[in-house]
Amino acid sequence: MTIEGKSALPSFPKTIVAASIGAIILMLGISSYMTWHLGEQIRTSVRSQTKILTAAERLEHYGSVLELSIKAVVATGDPEAAARYRAVQPQLRETLKELRTNLEPSAVTTVATSNVNSADLALTAREFQALDLASRGRLDEAKELIHGEDYNRYLKIYYGSIAEIEQRATEHFMSSERRLDSYLTAILTLSLASFLFLIVGTFAAGRPARSWARELKLSQERTETALVDLRSAQELLKAANQNLFEQARVDALTGVQSRRKFNEDVENVIPRALQDGESYSLIMCDVDNFKLYNDNYGHLAGDEVLRSIADAFKAASRYDDQVYRYGGEEFVLLLKSTSLEAGKVSAERFRAAIEAMQIPHVGNKMGIVTVSMGLAQIEAGRGLSIGRWVELADKALYEAKRSGRNRVENVASLAA
């Protein structure tokens, strides 16, 4: 009691206020660091995933170009295909090196990359041996080497490992997303704890501490705003991932569907054929003497020709026909509910559409841009094989090229 008979005013709770403020500052500092660290993780995850998926896409593309080129060489001794093979092989090796570099700092395992590298070395050894045999006119031996079980086994390892890399990249993204959620939970917990300390400090310190409370409340609001921003950044990351997924299935140059989309769609042909009792026709198309076109007119003009051909194919298609860019100057057309005769008519319509554009090409026999096409049909209930179907269409294509180009060749209805 004071001499006036009143209770003494309580002293300012310096220890409590100091401890509360220190704890809040520490929590806000940790929250700020975690917020910054979370942003870095988002940026790193997007960059890493983009590089990995892009490199894997290029590996799949180069692998298909090399596979088709070597098969063309052993089938017909095509010197253009041999030159294309030798030009693309270094690009594949460089892309594989780039992929391995990008995987080192990430959580994605490099085992699949090692498998791709090993399979590529094995394939390359057999392909160069086949090139040597073909150059000496020993095509039968070269064909046996390229179409043998060992070669197909390494092809399966090569493409399967690339698919595993893409799957692991997606798993890495999902794992990163779970880590981001844990960071967000920790930041929210710290924010709630800061708010609790704010209430305790207000009642303990009274009016002198209220100014501190106002400042801390502002800090809390900024933290909550940061949480909203982080959630938005997470949604942007998901959207970016979805965008990458969709971009990989559309050819960037021509706007038609990509080789990867074709590989996905063609796997559904047999189940649909069995369910609906439908037949499908596959048309493989190659631009005649396209290397000479690029040599004479330049690669930019060559790109424009590929876009024009893609547009012409789309314009000549029925509503359920599918157009894909298979790689380089090659396209694939997938026709539903099409008999072999109807497929011939459709293929001729596509071929005539390209010829009708009358694009000058001094390196081609007709003086204009033309295409060669190979047609094969698949039917329900007859022991179907997608691999055999594609192989027959490819053989028909090379027969069309061997027979003079600017024509359609076909094989009988397939019963694999």
Residues 280/338, Cβ–Cβ less than 8 Å: yes
Helix (H) or strand (E) segment spanning residue 375: strand 371-378
**3-class secondary-structure state, position 413:** coil
Amino acid at position 137, single letter: G
**3-class secondary-structure state, position 227:** helix
Neighbours of 217 (CB within 10 A): 14
Record the tokens describing residue 261, joined without a space: 């989309």
Helix (H) or strand (E) segment spanning residue 377: strand 371-378
- The whole-angstrom separation of Cα 291 and Cα 295 is 6
DSSP 54: H
**3-class secondary-structure state, position 415:** coil
- The whole-angstrom separation of Cα 16 and Cα 205 is 8
DSSP 412: P
Name the strands in the sheet holding 322-327, side by side, starting at the edge strand that comes first in the sequence: 322-327, 330-336, 280-287, 371-378, 408-410
- The whole-angstrom separation of Cα 238 and Cα 229 is 14
Catalytic residue among 329, 330, 355, 379: 329
- 283: Cβ contacts below 8 Å, ≥ 6 apart: 332, 333, 334, 335, 343, 346, 347, 350, 373, 374, 375, 393
348 has catalytic annotation = no
**3-class secondary-structure state, position 284:** strand
State the number of CA atoms in the 13 A half-sphere of 56 facing the CB.
Answer: 29
Could you give the dihedral angle defined by the CA atoms of residues 48, 49, 55 and 58, in that order, rounded to the nearest 10 degrees? -160
43: left (phi over 0), alpha (psi -120 to 50) or beta: alpha
DSSP 408: E
**Residues carrying an active site annotation:** 329
